[in-house]
Amino acid sequence: MKHPLLLAMALLFAACGPVLAQTDEIQVYDATIAPPGVFNLTWHNNYTPSGGTLPEFPGAIVPEHSLNGVTEWAYGVAGWMEAGLYLPLYSMTGDGAVRVNGFKLRALFVRPHAAGQLFFYGINFELSYNAPHWDRHRYSSEIRPIVGWHLGRVDFIFNPILDNDYEGLGRLDFAPATRLAWHASKKWSVAAEEYADFGPVQHFEAAGAQSHQLYGVLDYDGAVSVEAGLGFGLTRASDHRVAKLIVSWDLN
C-alpha cells in the first residue's frame, strides 16, 4: 500500500461522514497544562481529502491530499506555566514526498487549575523556524490569548490569535479559533469548533477571501486522550474538507 497512513486517516474520517495557509496544529487551547514536573507528548495530524489544488506561493505544498503533523513535547514548569517544543514538523504531499517543515518553541501561561475554574484564561507565545516550502517567512510567531468558561456540562472557549511575520503591527494576522463543547460524561464530549483567518488587522480581507472552517469534534479524555474532527470550508478561500486527529498522553 503506497500511502497507508493517508488511507487510514481518510477511512477514519469518512466514517464520520483551503485554509489560507496550511497548519500542523488544529486545536483550541483551553488553558489546561501539564502538572509541574510532568512531561507530555501530543501528536497532531491533519489530512486534506479535498482542498486547494495550487500552492499558496511558489514552491509551497499543495493542500489537497496532503498530510501535515507534528509531535509536541511539553513540560510543566509551574502550576501556571508550560514550556513546549514542536519537533519534527512534517508533511506528506499528495505524490508521497515527505517534507520537514521546521520547528517551534512555546511558552504557555495560564490561570492555575483551569479545568476546575468557572472562568479561565491564559496566553500562549510561539516562535517558529520555517522551511521555505512551509512559509514565505523564515521566522514567524503566534500570540494566542485564551479566555473561556466552564458552564456545567458546557464549555465556551475563545482564542483570538494573532500571527506575526515581523512586517509591522498592521500586518499582524487575525486568525481566531472558537470552541463550544458539551460533556456527555467525564470522559466523552462533543464540540463544534470554528477556525478563521480574517487577514491583516490593518485591513481585513473581503468576506469571500477570508478563511472559515467549521469542525465537528469528538473527544475522549483518559490516560491517552484523543480528539478527532472533520472540518468543512465555509468560504472559497477555505479547504473543502480537512480531517484532524490529536493524541496526547503523559510520559511520566
Q: Cis ω on the peptide bond leading into residue 35 (within 30° of 0)?
A: no
Q: Where are the domains positioned within the chain? A: 4-250
Share of the chain above pLDDT 70, in %: 92
Indicate the average pLDDT of the chain: 92
Class of the domain covering 4-250: mainly beta
The residues, any chain, with a CB within 8 Å of residue 44's CB and separated by 6 or more, are: 24, 25, 26, 27, 69, 70, 71, 72, 244, 245, 246
Distance between CA 122 and CA 113 in Å, rounded? 11
Q: Residue 20 pLDDT > 80, yes or no? A: no
Mean pLDDT of the 95-110 span: 97
pLDDT tens digits, one per residue of 74-94: 999 999 999 999 999 999 999
Q: Environment class of residue 91 by beta-carbon count within 10 Å: exposed (0-12), middle (13-18) or buried (19+)?
A: buried
Confidence of residue 22 (pLDDT cuts 50, 70, 90): confident
pLDDT at 1: 38
pLDDT higher than threshold 70 for residue 5? no
Indicate whether 2 pLDDT > 50. Answer: no
Residue 157 φ/ψ, nearest 5 degrees: -135, 140
Q: How confident is the model at residue 21 (pLDDT cuts 50, 70, 90)?
A: low
pLDDT at 174 over 50: yes
Tell me: pLDDT of 4 over 60: no
- With a cut of 50, say whether residue 154 has pLDDT above it: yes
Lookup: cell for 210 = 477570508
pLDDT at position 9 over 60: no
For residue 242, pLDDT beyond 70 = yes
Residue 190 confidence (pLDDT) above 50 = yes
> How many residues comprise the chain?
252
* 103 pLDDT above the threshold of 50: yes
- Report yes or no on whether pTM surpasses 0.75: yes
The per-residue pLDDT for 3 is: 46
Cβ neighbours of residue 14 under 8 Å, at least 6 residues apart? none
pLDDT of residue 10: 40
